[in-house]
Amino acid sequence: MKRSRHHPAYWAFLVHRISGVALALFLPAHFWFLGSALQGAAAMDGLLRWTDQPVVIAGEWLLVMLLAAHLAGGLRLLALELLPWREWQKTLAALAAAFALLAGFAFALAR
């Protein structure tokens, strides 16, 4: 990667963009799964059993992390763009990363 990109705001951008694209690609699958309830709880349960595979659980965990990262990174962006400027960019990026890790940890403990 170009050396001019070696700083936290750029990493925050990359995480935000990649998580955003991943979430947008996941949404149709998510909606399709929930739509299975139209065929009744049994149909939905059938799909839920498929999600018990370890690799799917790992995927779920990743998605929760991505969602938390996109949320926290987005709040960071709103603060940078809409609030009066402060020299807190690195603090905001660190807080966003911490929030994503925390959410991932909570999900891993709960699942």
Partner 1 sequence: MGNVPEFSRNDRREKPGLSPVLMVSVWRGAAEGAFQSFEVPRQPSQTVLDVVTYIQRNLDATLSYRFACRVGMCGSCAMTVNGTARWTCRTHVDKVVVDGDLRLGPLENLPVVKDLVADMRPFFDKWAAAQGQFKGAKTRQEDFTRVDPRSTARREADAAIECIGCGVCYASCDVVAWNPEYLGPAALNRAWTLVKDVRDAGQASRLVAVAGDAGCHSCHTHMSCTELCPKGLSPTRSIAGLKRATMKLALSMEEP
Partner 2 sequence: MSARREATLWLAQRGTAMILAACVVVHLATIIFAVRGGLTAAEILERTRGSVAWGAFYSVFVIASAVHGAIGLRTVAAEWLGFRGDAAEVTVTFIGFALTVLGLRAVVAVVGG
Give the interface with partner 2 as residue ranges (CB under 8 A): 17, 20-21, 23-24, 27-28, 30-38, 41-42, 44-45, 48, 51-52, 64, 67-68, 70-71, 74-75, 77-78, 81-82, 103, 106-107, 110-111
SS3 77: helix
Angle value at C-alpha 105, between 36 and 62, nearest 5 degrees: 45
For residues 92 and 103, which CB has a smaller minimum distance to partner 2 in the complex? 103
Q: Cβ distance 11 to 93 under 8 Å?
A: yes
Q: Give the tokens for residue 58.
A: 């790992």
Residue 21 interacts with partner 1 (CB under 8 A): yes or no? no
- Provide the CB-side half-sphere exposure for 95 (13 A, CA): 13
Tell me how far, at minimum, the Cβ of 25 lies from partner 1, in Å. 20
Tell me how far, at minimum, the Cβ of 13 lies from partner 1, in Å. 5
Cα separation of 28 and 93, whole Å?
29
Residue 24 interacts with partner 1 (CB under 8 A): yes or no? no
For residues 62 and 79, which CB has a smaller minimum distance to partner 1 in the complex? 79
- Indicate which of partner 2, partner 1, none lies near residue 4 (CB less than 5 to 8 Å, by partner kind): partner 1
Residue 111 interacts with partner 1 (CB under 8 A): yes or no? no
Number of Cβ within a 10 Å radius of residue 99: 17
